[in-house]
A and B are shown apart, each in its own frame.
Chain A
Amino acid sequence: MTQTRPKFAWKGVIKRFEGRAVLDGLNLSVAQGRSLVIIGGSGQGKSVAIKTALGLLRPDAGQIELDGHSLVDLSQGQRRQLFSRVGVLFQGAALFDSLTVWENVAFRLINADGVPRKAAKDRAIEALDQVRLGPDVAHRFPSELSGGMQKRAGLARAVVGQPEILFFDEPTTGLDPITAMAINQLISDQVRRLGSTAISITHDLVSAQMIGDEIAMLHEGRIRWRGLARDLGQAEDPVVRRYADAARLGPVDLRSREIV
């Protein structure tokens, strides 16, 4: 069996907050052109995993690798340069509230890539259209949008430059089912049609199956289960089963330590 070099990998990553290990030896990788979905309970460190991947949090131990090159010891300047190949959607969208929606989407094009404003605006409006936000929204400020609209604007900002690798922190949370479907479609398009590599976090298992080639479950700072998206239903691991079955099983005792 030949092992191709992963596009992106966490290798033994440990991240502690005040002595508590949130990531406790995280090993996870994704191959070029594949879509990996990370699932896991609230507070299990999914967002922290993405932030260490991006160098926004420094791991206490371990390596982060892009195309086999370590990212941990890069200077901020080098990392920013590398980010021209990366698109990120933050869990809270993180739109710049002093800029209009289209200026947000075109931020990298204008401020880092030197694209003229007019051309950047056209591309921003096109990207907004892909997330079902019309041109009327483009001129509003983020504070004038609903949470779901902000999320979609953040998504447009992540994909506008057609980056090689994409990080999505809960792309469909808070969206109505129709828009959520459109977003799922957009993400799988990015991967299948444009060949990007995607790493997404989601709580929505339908969405996970739609956008993910593979699914990894993060539990207590490590990968508890990993497999093809279609195999999630057959997983035997009890923690994974409970997570996957939660909807079917109905109400559970929130105080129980068993819950992931």
Chain B
Amino acid sequence: MAAAKARRAPNRLRSNLVRPLGRSTLAAARRVGAVGVFGARATIAALSPPWFPGQIRRQFVAIGFFSLPVVGLTAIFTGAALALNIFTGGGRFNAEQVMPQIVALGITRELGPVLAALMLAGRVSAAIAAEIGAMRATEQIDAMHTLSTDPFSYLVGPRLLAGVLMLPLLTLVADTIGVAGGWLAATRVLDFSSAAYIRNTIDVLQGWDIVSGLIKAAVFGYIVALMGCYHGYTAKGGARGVGRATTRAVVSSAILIFASDYLLTTVFTQAS
């Protein structure tokens, strides 16, 4: 009896370690598959009729226009802080004079799109997940089906379009305000000449610096809207489920933004 038990023990140990690992790997794979299918359906719905212009307009305003203040504020403070940091840091190896160039490149290629996207992840992804999750919980999504309307066309598509098209615009705003923040710090706190700062910025920037940032922004916008829609649409279990969906939407958006930022940057820097 005891011997048999002892012989089984290592076996049990292995299965105790392996089984949960296998199970969570499978669950993760299933989740990725489900998000992929959802994303494909959502993209098709966004790009094919029926379109709901009223809904699209509404989402453009909600996602684009009402995000301007947070994005603008984030950009101006970050631009200013970046300028001060690079100036002091650059001073250690006599590079303080190239500070405007570094600020301009850092903001257009990296910080503008990423910060705008993170603000959108917090603001928009959460709002989408909460709204669609509540609609799921109160059977509004079921009702929409019975009213011969596809929730993917009516709810998901417009949000996806708004994310993909509005985040690049917001990024353009963030770029401009971010550089302006750097300029403010440089001319008010440090003793930079305004004309020199602006000339340096314009001289260093190439079209691709800005465009690559905008391409990133479009991808981030897709991620933010998709994560909000996916977690809201699949929410289960009433108000608690909606809360969980909101958290997941924000966290998964943020992680995917950073991961895809690195991937895109790799591609872009190798290409140029």
Contact = CB atoms under 8 A, between A and B. Distances in A.
17 contacts: A54-B142, A76-B150, A77-B150, A80-B145, A80-B150, A83-B147, A83-B148, A86-B146, A96-B144, A97-B134, A97-B135, A107-B144, A111-B52, A111-B147, A111-B148, A112-B149, A157-B147
Interface string B33-70: 00000000000000000101000000000000000000
Contacts of A90: 139, 142-143
Interface residues of A, number: 26
A55 B146 CA distance: 9
B150 A108 contact: no
Interface string B113-142: 000000000000000000100110011101
B87 interface: no
B142 A83 contact: no
Interface of A: 51, 54-56, 76-77, 79-81, 83-84, 86, 88, 90, 92, 94-98, 107-108, 111-113, 157
B143 A108 contact: no
B233 interface: no
A177 to B, nearest CB: 27
Contacts of A51: 142
Contacts of B139: 90, 92, 94
Which one of B52, B140, B148, B150 has the highest number of Cβ atoms from chain A below 10 Å of its Cβ?
Answer: B148
Nearest to B142: A56
B154 interface: yes
A81 B140 contact: no
Given A88-B143, A90-B143, A96-B143, A108 B149 contact: yes
A83 B143 CA distance: 11
Contacts of A111: 50, 52, 147-149, 154
A112 B148 contact: yes
A92 B147 contact: no
A16 to B, nearest CB: 17
Given A111-B52, A111-B154, A80 B140 contact: no
A107 to B, nearest CB: 5
Contact of B147 (A76, A98, A108): A108
Nearest to B152: A76
Contacts of A83: 145-148
